[in-house]
């Protein structure tokens, strides 16, 4: 009985670990197009904002 519970607990832990590895997402490229980014100054401000937001939310900068 104890052995069955132990095997069940280990199986559950392995499933959770396998699921977390499957769910990890790889970095993806994203292209943002906007009609109102006609000047370099606006584009620079947007890029700086995105770098700051990405660092605060995900711990890494935009490549």
For residue 53, what are the domain limits?
2-58
Question: Is 63 or 48 the better-scoring residue by pLDDT?
Answer: 48
The count of structural domains within the chain is: 1
Chain mean position to CA 41:
28
At residue 59, the pLDDT reads 57
Q: Is residue 50 part of a domain?
A: yes
Q: Which of 63, 34, 29 is nearest to 46 (CA)?
A: 34
Q: Is residue 63 part of a domain?
A: no
Q: Which tens digit of pLDDT belongs to each residue from 35-48?
A: 766 777 777 888 88
For the four alpha carbons of 63, 32, 21 and 8, in that order, the dihedral sign comes to positive
pLDDT-above-70 percentage for the chain: 60
Give the pTM.
0.34
Q: Is residue 52 part of a domain?
A: yes
Residue 62 neighbours by CB distance under 10 Å = 13
């Amino acid at each position: 009985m104890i052995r069955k519970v132990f095997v069940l607990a280990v199986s559950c832990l392995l499933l959770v670990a396998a699921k977390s590895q499957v769910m990890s997402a790889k970095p993806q490229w994203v292209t943002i197009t906007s009609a109102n980014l006609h000047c370099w100054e606006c584009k620079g401000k947007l890029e700086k904002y995105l770098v700051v937001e990405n660092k605060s939310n995900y711990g890494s900068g935009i490549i």
